Amino acid sequence: MNLQVNPHTKVEDHHVDSFLTDVLKGLKSSPKRLSSKYFYDKTGDRLFQEIMVMPEYYLTKCELDIFKNKTADLIRLINPENEPFDLIELGAGDAMKSTFLLKHLVETGVQFTYMPIDISGNILSILKEKLGRELPALEISALEGDYFQMLQKAASLSHRRKVILFLGSNIGNMNIEEAESFCHALNRNLSSGDRVLIGFDLKKNPHTILNAYNDKNGITAAFNLNLLTRINRELGADFDLKQFQHYQTYDPVSGACKSYLVSLKEQTVKIGNESILFEESELIDMEISQKFSAEKIEELREKSDFKRVGEIKDSKNWFVDVIWQV
Ligand code: AVJ
């Protein structure tokens, strides 16, 4: 998992290079695709924060219910002996939910460092500012980048038992196969006794799920289309946003909730020196938000070699945080 970095290349150049490579590779595939991990530029961060407060988007409310009202239970499951440890959060974002946990932990006086990892440097600076204000006693060491690269960095900084938080159904952005290899790799990157807390969105009435991703005000649509704006700005492309339309699906059998952009006409888009042809009605596969059954979660745990520790659901039983141990 080591990344070879040319010492003469600036980090920003590197970002642009791999962003361009990924975008071109995705748009030359069939079906065309773009990775939702690139949604989170400054505007994307803001749009996702708007999504989290939409009445339709129940996920954040459910997990907040757990973190607000079952904090002591959570702490018992992640750190039963109340011993020093390090708390690493993958995809921390603004850490709205984990802040409840952090407050509680600071109050108990247990020794720990909080290491939030996120792909968005923008949201990490917002987070650091907020936590510095609300929890000045908290030891924090923020890491910007991809999950595994930064997880390794965090592991090299930490000499204590580790607890990994992976909340908000971020794991749903992987299909089942990817989630399996992710959890397996996560397990291999940790040591015996380390624990993970993973948030899964559960299967439920398919109308409820589809509504959460197909809001009437078009915020989710704007969230998807914003990636085209980002590609225009950062990679010098000329996507015409009026010629692409958001389309959302949910398959209650597989649990896959997927978003697409539909090309409204035959058109050519320039990206750097390349031209990409879109047929009329051709799709770009944008994002998967996988929903899980209890059985699928168990299967995932077994395949990735974790031991079951416990789980906590919200009061509606719509969302579950599971705790596993290496
Ligand atoms: C941040 C990946 C959990 O899939 O529910 C929200 C992102 N996409 N609305 C999700 C998202 C459209 C969200 N995650």
Q: pLDDT for 139-156, tens place per residue?
A: 999 999 988 889 889 988
C-alpha 127 – ligand 1 centre gap (Å): 19
pLDDT of residue 4: 37
Residues with CB under 6 A from ligand 1: 51, 59, 168-170, 172-173, 213, 220, 223, 287, 289
C-alpha 192 – ligand 1 centre gap (Å): 31
pLDDT of residue 13: 55
Q: What distance, in Å, lies between the first and last C-alpha atoms of the chain?
A: 20
User: Does 119 score more than 90 pLDDT?
Assistant: no
**Best residue among 287, 288, 291, 292 to mutate for probing ligand 1, ranked by most atoms within 8 Å of CB:** 287
- Facing residues of 140 across strands? 114
Residue range 152-207, pLDDT digits in tens: 899 888 889 999 999 999 999 999 999 999 999 999 999 999 999 999 999 999 99
C-alpha 147 – ligand 1 centre gap (Å): 17
Q: 161 with 194: CB under 8 angstroms?
A: yes
- Separation of alpha carbons 311 and 199, rounded Å: 10
C-alpha 287 – ligand 1 centre gap (Å): 8
C-alpha 210 – ligand 1 centre gap (Å): 12
C-alpha 60 – ligand 1 centre gap (Å): 10
**Best residue among 53, 123, 173, 288 to mutate for probing ligand 1, ranked by most atoms within 8 Å of CB:** 173
User: Does the ipTM surpass 0.90?
Assistant: yes
- Separation of alpha carbons 277 and 46, rounded Å: 31
Q: What is the value of pTM for the model shown? A: 0.92
Residue range 25-71, pLDDT digits in tens: 999 999 999 999 999 999 999 999 999 999 999 999 999 999 999 99
- Separation of alpha carbons 289 and 174, rounded Å: 7
Give nearest CA residue, ligand 1 atom 2. Answer: 170
- Separation of alpha carbons 314 and 203, rounded Å: 14
Give nearest CA residue, ligand 1 atom 4. Answer: 289
Of ligand 1's listed atoms, the one at least distance from the Cα of 223 is: 12
Give nearest CA residue, ligand 1 atom 10. Answer: 289
Tell me the DSSP string of 37-84.
Answer: GGG-SHHHHHHHHHHHTSTT-HHHHHHHHHHHHSHHHHHHHH-TT---
